[in-house]
Amino acid sequence: MAGTRALLRQCPLLLPQDRHGTAYEGFVTAQGRNFHIRILLPVDLQLKNARIECSWRLKRILHGYRHILKQRLHSCPDLVSFMVELKTVLEIALKNTQDLHVPRPPEYYSCLVRDLEILGWNRVAYVDTGLSTVKLKAEDSCGRQHLITLKLNAKYPTEPPDCLVDFPVPFAVSWMPQNSLIDIYNQFLAALESLKEFWDALDEIDGKTWVLEPENPTRSATTRRIAIGNNVSVNIEVDPRHPNMLPECYFLGADHEVNPLRTKLNNNMQLWDPEVSLLQNLRELLGIDFPSRAVLEKSDFAKDCGICYAYRLEGSAPDHVCDDPRCGQPFHQACLYEWLQGLPTSRQSFNVIFGECPYCNK
C-alpha cells in the first residue's frame, strides 16, 4: 500500500490495473507533457522481467536511451525507483531533442533556399522534407566522390550547422553569422585536398593488394591488414597527416613466418623514402611482393578458422595461427580463447592463455 502511495506521488497519472500490482497504465509527465505508458510486471514483481509498452512518440524520444533504461530495470529495487529514473532520462532526452520541436521562422527557410541556390542544386545530394538535413556532394582532384551531411538548427545562419564527414581527422568549421553554405562547402573542398595523399596511398593498397580487413573500408579508416602469404599478413596504421612516413606495422602469423619479416623491417627502417609511395616502400623494406589481385584469388592465401569453419566472425578474419610449421592452421581469437578455456590442460598467465592447438594438438 505504501508503495502504491509513493508511486502515485511520483506519477499521479499512472494507475494500477489489477489488485496484484502487476499491471499499470496511464501517463508519465515530463516538461509539462504527458506520454502514454503501460507497465506489465511478472507475478514475482521482478523489474528485470517487466515489459514496457509506450506510445510511438515516447518510443522515438527514448530510442537512444534503451540500453540505459534496460540497465535501470535490472538495478532498481522497485517500480517507484524505476519511474523516478525513467522521468530523469525522459527529461534529458527531451532536452536533447528540443530543437526538433522549435518552430523555425520563415526567415530560416528563405535563407536556406537562397544559400542552396547560390551553392548550386547540382552540388546537393539530399534534402529532407523538413529542410533540417542537407547532404552536399563533392569530387576531389582525383575524382573520388565525397559527401558532407549538414544538420541545421532553427537558429541558422546565426549558428553553424553540425557537419558530418567520412574523414580520418576531425573536421572543424570556421563560422561567422554572415557566412553561408558556400563557405562550409569551400572549407570541405580544402579539407579534401589536404587528405589527398592519404587517400592516394590507401587507394593504391586497396587496388594492388589483398586487404583482409576492413572488408569494406570507409574513407575514415586508417588501418589495413594486407595479405603477405598463406596465413601471414601485416596490419598497418597510417597517419592521415603524414601518410608518406613509415606506418605502425604489426605482423600476424606463425612465428617462423613473421619473425624474419620483423627483422627485415627493423634492419631496413633507414631506407624508408618519403618520396616513394607507401606500398613501394613496404615492398622494398620487407623484400617481398604482396599477393596481387590480378594474379591470385583471396582463397589462395586466406583459410577459414579451424574451429568455427568460417572465414569471417562478426566481421573479423582469423588472426591467430598455430606456430607448428607442419600445421599453420588459422583461428579467430574469440574461437581460440573459448576453445582453450574449455581444455583442462590449458593454463593462463596474466592475460595470456596457453594450450594445445585444436588442429594438431601441438
Q: What are 157-166's pLDDT values in tens digits?
A: 888 998 999 9
Burial of 99 (0-12, 13-18, 19+ CB in 10 A): middle
The domain made up of 1-99 has a fold known as: Ubiquitin Conjugating Enzyme (3.10.110)
pLDDT at 127: 93
Nearest residue to 151 via CA among 128, 172, 133: 133
Say what angle helices 278-286 and 196-208 make with each other, to 10 degrees.
Answer: 50
Fold adopted by 303-361: Herpes Virus-1 (3.30.40)
Q: Tell me the percentage of the chain whose pLDDT exceeds 70.
A: 94
Considering the entire predicted model, what is its pTM?
0.63
- Mean per-residue pLDDT, 18-36: 85
Residue 99 has pLDDT above 60, yes or no: no
Domain covering 106-194 assigned CATH 3.40.710.10 in the classification: no
List, for residues 33-49, the tens digit of each pLDDT value.
888 999 998 887 888 88
Q: How many CA atoms lie within 13 A of 322 on its CB side?
A: 20
Fold of the CATH domain 209-301: Ubiquitin Conjugating Enzyme (3.10.110)
Cα 346 to the chain's mean position, in Å?
Answer: 34
Distance CA 77, CA 46 (A): 9
- Residue 343: pLDDT band by 50, 70, 90 thresholds? confident
Q: What is the mean pLDDT of residues 209-225?
A: 90
Where in the sequence of the chain do the CATH 3.10.110.20 domains occur?
A: 209-301
